[in-house]
């Protein structure tokens, strides 16, 4: 069931900001695209995702294969796919920006890096530096997840990108 009217929301709320961005895009967007578009409208804070969740819960935005959009945009896209005018989207799972940043750093490094060295390099990015200042253990949690997933190898205190 598609909502017929705009959701009730407070002026200036994250729900309003996200809704305006999704309506203006009028297409399915990845979470990265949505985050970047919301960031152009106002300074991002962690709470922006609550606006996405409220709109999903109310049915004013929907997800399709890890993309976000209005129900009308999803229906229009599925109609294009059914008519053969567009290819269906691959089911791509949203990736961790931390994991992607660490893998890129290790991929460009000529040697193995310690968690401390990785942290120092990531702090050169303003947004990551701010997040690391608020949660310095994020780097260790992400490295542990990458090692568990087999994307990164750990030897002693040093990390390197996995061959596979």
What's the pLDDT score for residue 92? 55
What's the pLDDT score for residue 93? 52
Q: Does domain 14-82 bear CATH number 1.25.40?
A: no
CATH architecture, range 97-161: Orthogonal Bundle (1.10)
What's the pLDDT score for residue 65? 82
Domains of the chain, residue spans: 14-82, 97-161
pLDDT grade, residue 164 (50/70/90)? Answer: low
pTM above 0.85, yes or no: no
CA distance 85 to 115: 48
- Smallest CA-to-CA distance from 68 within 110, 19, 14, 5 is with 19
CA distance 155 to 133: 27
Asked if 14-82 and 97-161 have one fold, the answer is yes
Please compute, for residue 53, the number of CA atoms within 13 A of its CA located in the half-sphere on the CB side: 5
């Amino acid at each position: 069931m598609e909502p017929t009217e705009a959701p009730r929301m407070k002026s200036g709320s994250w729900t309003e900001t996200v809704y305006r961005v999704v309506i203006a895009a009028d297409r399915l967007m990845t979470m990265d695209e949505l985050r970047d578009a919301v960031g152009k409208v106002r300074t991002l804070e962690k709470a922006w995702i609550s606006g996405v969740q409220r709109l999903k819960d109310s049915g004013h935005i929907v997800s399709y294969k890890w993309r976000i959009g209005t129900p009308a945009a999803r229906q229009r896209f599925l109609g294009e796919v059914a008519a053969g005018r567009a290819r269906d989207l691959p089911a791509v799972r949203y990736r961790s920006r931390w994991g992607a940043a660490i893998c890129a750093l290790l991929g460009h490094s000529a040697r193995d890096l310690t968690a401390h060295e990785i942290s120092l390099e990531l702090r050169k990015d303003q947004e990551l530096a701010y997040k690391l200042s608020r949660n310095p253990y994020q780097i260790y949690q992400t490295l542990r997840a990458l090692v568990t997933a087999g994307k990164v190898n750990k030897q002693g205190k040093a990390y390197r990108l996995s061959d596979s």
